[in-house]
Structure 1
């Protein structure tokens, strides 16, 4: 199959993807068109269906695996796909190269290796037995979710294994700052790094097609995470109340600012460090994916609405003009 990361301007492509989102929008003349976000394990791309919207809007749903035919365009510096034909994947498509694992965006890192490293770092740096017991219990009770869930639906680490990748990265950074500032409570740092986003395991649904649950929309991952922490700590005899309060504060304040949805601003050294680490890791994940996926010829990427800026791409080697794309065979078509 042709991966989204490899799509080039003017290329006519037949391939497979998953549908991350679907919206019906209006053209300038008032007629409807369909805007999709298609994804595979290498990334995602915005796609548009201009014609026969009433037909396609019923046949294609969010979360579907599809086969599509379309041409790649560059609009305002970003690639988009103009879809000509689309249908849901059928049993015979495996012979044509379809595999579910290929159309689900996933971390570039090995899940087992990240999982093992997370446990090793926890074991080697936790000092209080009750904290080690707490973290082991949380990870064991949520093993499958921790290993598969994204860390979000769109802004950062929004792919299979993204939650684990983000948590491990935050933990590694927290340990760096624990050496830089030895007065920090390393147990609070380690536990905070592992647990700060744990409520996302309830805030989000199916990791193959991440979307917000009702509890996620009505309560949110910050409070859901605090509740999960309390439930787990309650199972540990004589868990120190003051330590639990500090861990609760880390979770409740990790987004840093009230306008970002944080119920509390950080008021302990550990909470402040974890807020900045969390924010930095999210932003750097966004920056590097933006640099990786940008296809325009400018020195700067297209404007990113989440970062609120363009990003300088640096000097890139000159490339020869791409040959005119050759239309792929119509194998498997018409629908």
Structure 2
């Protein structure tokens, strides 16, 4: 629906409410910015004038039937919600509105653990992977990788890790002499496990921060989860002390720079590689998402997660 909208036109159809944010006009009158998703998975922001959050009758994840006016602002389509009502259950299928990973969560989960069993030769690392993935399996299947920017979809956590594992295997073949493959693959598989506590993800894949996530962040939480697994597995001993320290360093440094949220900067070849693989997958996801609906021969809007770059889609 939103893809086909034309400036100065009107459209109508069913949309799911993703989020509701209250704003004020220059004269202090309230209005809402509704992030809406249609059944083609296209998301837009629409204004609802003269309305406060308290007055608006619907919560996020509610499907409504809306009528919209389409204007223009800064060269882009600008949507205003004119009329709306709650959709009847017979008028929509909820799965049509859910952004989800393109692969089965079960298959991605099994692939990751299969690669771990084949590639991670260190018994302690392998035990930690299985402990965490089995303990949090139910969450892992649906968890988003982020509230926004990249892999912020249902099963996005798995999808992000699934693709990074494939990149790690490929790059490991090129730079094998400089890398401890068991450490690198374990770091890839576990680098974002802190997000299982940093974020809460609902059944549609929409995520928001937990108090623990806001106060601590997933890098620190992930290191704590490694310690919890080690205590459970009786791995907190002199034999494993150094290797656990190296693994926690990969988690603590995988954002690359402290201004990007890293606890420390990468100081191991495996930590450098993990950071680069993470960045590649996050940025390529944003490229794919931005160009998916873009017309050939045109530029996208500026993309925050890509340093405000405008991507070009060739003819």
The RMSD of aligned alpha carbons is 2.3
Question: Offset of 1:34 from its aligned partner?
Answer: 1.2
2:251 aligned counterpart, secondary structure: helix
Separation of aligned partners in 1, 2:131 and 2:76 = 44
Within a 5 Å distance, the mapping from 1:239-258 to structure 2 comes to 240-258=240-258
1:20 aligns with 2:18: yes
Within a 5 Å distance, the mapping from 1:1-335 to structure 2 comes to 6-10=3-7, 12-28=10-26, 30-39=28-37, 42-50=41-49, 52-54=50-52, 57-73=55-71, 75-76=73-74, 78-89=76-87, 93-96=88-91, 98-183=92-177, 184-207=179-202, 208=204, 209-238=206-235, 240-294=240-294, 299-307=298-306, 308-315=308-315
Change in Cα spacing, 1:173 to 1:204, as seen in structure 2 (3 Å) is same
Decide which structure has greater strand share. Answer: 2
Question: Offset of 1:80 from its aligned partner?
Answer: 4.4
2:242 aligned counterpart, secondary structure: helix
Separation of aligned partners in 1, 2:4 and 2:137 = 35
Structure 1 gaps, min length 5: 316-335
Contact 1:155 1:306 in 2 (8 A): yes
Question: Offset of 1:46 from its aligned partner?
Answer: 1.4
**TM-superposition CA deviations, 1:27-48 (whole Å, max 9, x none):** 3555432111113572422111
Which deviates the most, 52-61 or 41-50?
Answer: 52-61
1:107 aligned counterpart, secondary structure: coil
TM-score (norm 2): 0.89
Change in Cα spacing, 1:44 to 1:57, as seen in structure 2 (3 Å) is farther
Contact 2:22 2:53 in 1 (8 A): no
RCO (CA 8 Å, sep 6+): is it higher in 1 or 2?
Answer: 1
Paired residues in the alignment total 306
Change in Cα spacing, 1:202 to 1:129, as seen in structure 2 (3 Å) is same
2:150 aligned counterpart, secondary structure: coil
